[in-house]
Amino acid sequence: MRQAPTLLQRRIVIGAGLCVIAFVLVGLRLVHVSLLESWDGGRAHAPIVARADLTDRNGELLARDLPVKDLYARPQFFNDKAEAAGGLAEATGANAGRLLKAFENAKHPYVLIARQITPDTEARVMHLGLPGLEFEPSARRYYPDGRTAAQVTGVTDLDNNGISGLELGLQPEIRAAAAPGHARGQVATSIDMRVQFILQHEVEEARKTFSARAAGGVVMDVNTGEVLGLVSLPDFDPNQRSLDAGDSRRNIMAQDVYELGSVFKIFTFAMALENHTLKSLDEVFPIGQGFKIGRHTIHEAEHMPATLAARDILAQSSNIGTSQIALRSGGEHERQFLGHLGLFKPIRTELPETARPLYPSVWGDIQTANVAFGQGIAVSPLSFAAAAASIVNGGRQITPTFLKQPSRDRRGGQLISPQTSLEMRDLLRYVVTDGSGKKADIDGYDVGGKTGSAQVAGPNGRYIPHALRTSFCAVFPVHNPRYLVFVLLDQPHGTRQTGGFALAGWTAAPAAGRVIQRIAPLLGVPNNAPPTRLAREAP
C-alpha cells in the first residue's frame, strides 16, 4: 500500500509547478517581445534606411549618414511625470508641454521624446537617471560644407528620405550605392567644390555690395553639360531643421523663372545669322529716340547714337536695333527658333526642382520685338544657361547634368550651324572687348559674354519703377569654349563706386569676371597672356 505524500513533499511539488509556470510565462514573453507583437502594445522598431555618401567630382564629401539615436520613454516608470518632462525637455530641446501631455494621456506605452539625438544629448539624458528610457539606433544626414552647396545638395527628412535637391533627385542611385555588397558606396556628382566655393563667395560679395534681394550663379561645362557649381542666395544651413531669419530653401536658379533682359539678344542674333536675315555685321541700322510698333514705343536703357552697325547693336545692347533685326525674321521664325533651343519646356535634370517657362500666347510684331531683347518671356536661369551653351559649343544641343560624366563630349544634335556658332563667339568676344561687358574681360582668358538688365514685374503685372534684374552670361575661352558662367542679381542698387549705376555692366559682369579669374587656373584653362614687352633703351 502506497504511503500518502507528506506535507513537505506536497510543498516541493507545488513549488516546482510554480517555477515551471513562471519559466513558461517568461519564455512566452521573450518570444512575443523578440518575434511577435509585444503584449503591452510595444512599438515596432523601424529599420534604418541607409544612404550612400554624396561626393563632388573629386571625391570631396557632400553628404554622409552619421549614427545617432532616437529616444523613447515608458512614462509608467516615472515617479514624477512633470519633473521627467521638464528634465527631458531641457536635455533634448523637446517641448516640455508636449511631453507632459503625452506622459499623462498616452494610449501607447511608448512616447517619442526626440529623434536623431547626438552623443552629447544622449549623455545629458543619461545624467538625469530616469528609468524607462530606450535609445533606438538611427541615422542622420550630415553636410560638412554647410550652406555652400545647400540648394543643389538638398536635405533629407527625419526618416532619411530625400526631400529636395540631389538628395531627392538621386535617391534611387544613393540607396542603390548603399545596398549590401555594393562596392562603390558613394555617388559622385558633377559639382566641383573648389568652383562652388569661389562661385558662392563672389556671388555673395556682389549681392552684399549692391544690396540685391537675391542672387545666383552657375558654372557649366559647355561640352558635357556638367554643372560644376550652382549657387542660390539666400541659402540655408542643411544641418539645421529650422530656417534662420532671412534663409530660404528655394533654388532660384532652377525653380524660378525671370525675364532676363538683354542676354536674350544672344538668341536673336544667332537666329538672324542662321536665317541669313542679317546681311552683314557691318550693316547700319537707325536707332533714334524710340521705335514705334503700332501703339507701342520701344526705348533704350541708355543713350544710344543715331545709328549703329549690327555688331555694335549687340555690343552696346540696343533694344531698338535688336527689335529691327528680330522683325526681319518674323514672329513665327522667332517662336520656332526659341522652341528649337528648348526654352518653351521645363528643363529636366537630376534636380527635382524645375519651372515652367512663360511666353506669349499670341506672337505678333510687338511680342516679337519685346522677346528679342528678353522682355515678355520668362525662363529659369538654368534653362537659359543650357540654351546659351548650345549657341557657343559648335551649335549642338546640351542637357545639364549633376552627375559626373565619363565622357568629355555629351553634345547632342545640331541646333545651329557650326558657322553661326563661330560667328556668335566672335560677337560675344567683341561685346567684352568693345561693349557693355568690358568689366568681365580677364587678361589671358579670352572671355566672351553678354550683359542683361531687365525690368522687374510687380505683383500687379506692371514693371516696378527703377527696379532691375541684372545678369551676365560669359563663356571662356571663347574661341575654344569649355565653360559657361552665368551670374544673376535680383534688384541690385548702384553704389558710389559705380556712380549710382546698377546696370549689368557694373554689377553682374565684374562678378562673373572675378569668378573666371579664380576658377580658370583650377580647371586647367591655359592663360594665353600676351608676351611681356621689354622697355626700349634710351638712345
**The C-alpha cell that represents 336 in the structure block:** 520656332
Report the C-alpha gap between 301 and 501 in whole angstroms: 12
What would the grid cell of residue 230 be? 550652382
> How far, CA to CA in Å, does 468 sit from each of 240, 257, 461, 507, 511?
33, 15, 15, 11, 16
| Residues paired with 162 in a beta bridge | 156
Q: Residue with C-alpha cell 579664380?
A: 518
What 3-state class would DSSP assign to 474? strand
Cell of 135: 535609445
Active site residues: 262
- Evaluate whether 488 touches 233 at the Cβ level (below 8 Å): no
Q: Other C-beta atoms within 10 Å of 105: how many?
A: 9
The set of residues, in sequence order, having a beta carbon less than 8 Å from that of 399 and lying 6+ positions away, is 225, 348, 349, 386, 410, 412
Angle 485-490-491 (CA atoms, 0-180°, nearest 5)? 135
Cα–Cα distance, 315 to 138 (Å, whole number): 58
User: Which residues have C-beta within 8 Å of that of residue 169, sequence separation ≥ 6?
Assistant: 154, 162, 349, 350, 351, 352, 402
DSSP state of 328: H
Assign 3-class secondary structure to 67-115.
EEEEEEECHHHCCCHHHHHHHHHHHHCCCHHHHHHHHHHCCCCCEEEEE
Quote the CA–CA distance of 96 and 131 in Å, as a whole number: 18
Rounded to whole angstroms, the Cα distance separating 13 from 6 reads: 11
Query: Distance (Å, rounded) from C-alpha 38 to C-alpha 89?
Result: 28
Tell me the CA end-to-end span of the chain in Å, nearest whole number: 148
Kindly report the backbone phi and psi dihedral angles of residue 172, in degrees, each rounded to the nearest multiple of 5, phi listed first.
Answer: -60, -40
